[in-house]
Amino acid sequence: MSAPPKKAFPLRLDPALYAAIERAAASDLRSVNAQVECLLREALGRRGVKLADPVRPRRGRPPRQSAPETKEGE
């Protein structure tokens, strides 16, 4: 199952706010984009807004596919 495409849009932020988000993202080992999304989810949760869990892409190696079976003598 693939994740639905994410909505992209421009966001203008105060440079000091962006710098603070960037520092928080680095300490949490996240990208700035992932940090903004996490902060928004936390803020909405505190306001009582229920959200479905995000669909995360599967990570790691894809499952091994078995080789097609061949008939004897071929």
pLDDT at 3 over 90: no
Q: How far is residue 6's CA from residue 14's CA, in Å, rounded to a whole number?
A: 24
Q: How far is residue 69's CA from residue 53's CA, in Å, rounded to a whole number?
A: 40
Do residues 22 and 30 touch, judged by C-beta distance below 8 A? Answer: no
- Cβ neighbours of 41 (radius 10 Å): 14
Q: pLDDT tens across 7-48, in order?
A: 899 999 999 999 999 999 999 999 999 999 999 999 999 999
pLDDT for 49 equals 94
pLDDT for 48 equals 95
CA of 73: how far to CAs of 22, 67, 68, 70, in Å? Answer: 63, 17, 15, 9
